[in-house]
Amino acid sequence: MLHDPNRVYVFDTTLRDGEQVPGCQLTTPEKIEIARELEALGVDIIEAGFPISSPGDFQSVVEISKAVKEPTVCALTRANKGDIDSAIEALKYAKHPRIHTGIGSSDMHIKYKFNSTREEILERAVEAVKYAKRGVEDIEFYAEDAGRADIEYLAKMIEAVIAAGATVVNIPDTNGYCLPNQYGDKIRFLKENVKNIDKAIISVHCHNDLGLATANSIQGLANGARQVEGTINGIGERAGNTSIEEVVMILKTHHSLGLHTNIQTQRIYDISRMVSTQMRMPVQPNKAIVGSNAFAHSSGIHQDGFLKMRENYEIIKPADVGFPNASIVLTARSGRAALNHHLERLGYKLDKEELAEAYHRFLTLADSKLDIQDEDLHGLVVNKLVSK
């Protein structure tokens, strides 16, 4: 089924799981704009929405299906006929449609969410896949709360839905509960114990409640999953979903994993800004890969090392993710090398003694001012010359 065993498929759910964040709802035109950018980014699957949830979401799935050509367009459903019929209808213009259906798999969900039994839930899972298969060939099954499910039961469920026709099996850590080794072991167990597992792609879908979504996704991929689900900037309800940009750049940086994606990484920064603006959800400055400080060097030791050779403190080139540039930020913790770098940028060539003097003045200024601007630097040098 897979041509390249090391290729990881990227499933973006910014417009579905991501959009569940309170206050981040998007209009259909906004969603289309993001979907087109996701297509240009090279994602393989766009989860466009949950059609039964509202007429607006239904329409968004229809319009996104018309707007993009390359990626698979996916619609979410619960395991019931009404949801699935609505998704089939919403996907009718999609060149590559996929239905994402599923049900709870942990005893907690089976008992307290569905008031049901393992046997009944297994039956409903199989029926949902078979029913969806009548309308769409490509069916992804999600075993909700798989992170807390009994592993033998989970394996049974996954085996049954593959036999029913599921092409992708999603193992969500819905509550962000697992440790990386636990999640990785789960994926390996399924890979080694489920009959016909190679007929389907295993997908990892992790939430970030303990800040482990990216680590868990990587561990899942390292243990045999070949699809990763996440959102741009890691947005999503509660603490969010796996950050797609983080997973992609980890795979690109760590060749030892031997895995790769189709993502055009130089487009990452632009789409991050677009999602942040449209969803009115600022990116935290220290966010990996896309935060405004992700490539900003501010302490003297780091700045000096960076100016000697960038790779001393830079494991990703900013241009590789479309980030404007690395920056040397001037603060009271900066050293002479950083000050000299900025003065040279402004056209000043100072000898050692002049630089020592300018640095002395600079520290006094930086202790009282958080944001050192070019005019401050001009002032430092001009004042010095005048006082000579």
The number of beta carbons lying within 10 Å of the beta carbon of residue 284 is 12
* Contacted by 31, from Zn ion, ligand KIV, none: CB < 5 to 8 Å by type: none
Burial of 209 (0-12, 13-18, 19+ CB in 10 A): middle
Identified binder of ligand KIV from the candidate list 205, 287, 297, 302, rule CB under 6 A: 205
Q: Does 17 bind ligand KIV (CB under 6 A)?
A: yes
- Give the shortest CB-214-to-ligand KIV separation in angstroms: 15
Residue 311: CB partners within 8 Å, gap ≥ 6? none
For ligand KIV, which residue of 9, 11, 58, 142 counts as binding (CB under 6 A)? Answer: 142
Quick one: what does residue 234 bind among Zn ion, ligand KIV, none, with the CB cut-off 5 to 8 Å set by partner type?
A: none
Q: Contact between 217 and ligand KIV (CB under 6 A)? A: no
Q: Which does 138 bind (CB under 5 to 8 A by kind): ligand KIV, Zn ion, none?
A: none
Please list every residue from 355 through 374 that binds ligand KIV, using CB under 6 A. none
297 binds, among Zn ion, ligand KIV, none (CB under 5 to 8 A by kind): none
List the interface residues with ligand KIV, window 149-188 (CB under 6 A).
170, 172, 174
**Which of 182/331 has CB closer to Zn ion?**
182
Q: What span, in angstroms and rounded, lies between the C-alpha atoms of 143 and 158?
A: 8
Using CB positions, name the residue nearest to Zn ion: 17
CA dist list (Å): 149 to 154, 202, 373 = 6, 16, 55
Contacts to Zn ion by CB under 5 A = 17
What distance, in Å, lies between the first and last C-alpha atoms of the chain? Answer: 77
φ, ψ for residue 8 (rounded to 5)? Answer: -105, 125
CA–CA separation, 271 vs 238, rounded Å? Answer: 22
Query: E-strand spans in the chain?
Result: 9-12, 45-49, 72-76, 97-104, 138-144, 168-173, 201-206, 227-230, 296-297, 327-328
340 binds ligand KIV (CB under 6 A): no
- Out of ligand KIV, Zn ion, none, which partner does residue 144 contact, by CB within 5 to 8 A per kind? ligand KIV
CB of 42 to ligand KIV, least distance (A): 22
Closer CB to ligand KIV, 170 or 219, in the complex:
170
Nearest Cα residue to 235 out of 274, 203, 187, 184? 274
User: 367: burial class by Cβ within 10 Å (0-12, 13-18, 19+)?
Assistant: exposed
Q: What's the min distance (Å) between Cβ of 303 and ligand KIV?
A: 42
Q: Looking at beta carbons only, is 131 or 177 nearer to ligand KIV?
A: 177
Which positions lie near ligand KIV, rule CB under 6 A?
17, 142, 144, 170, 172, 174, 205, 207
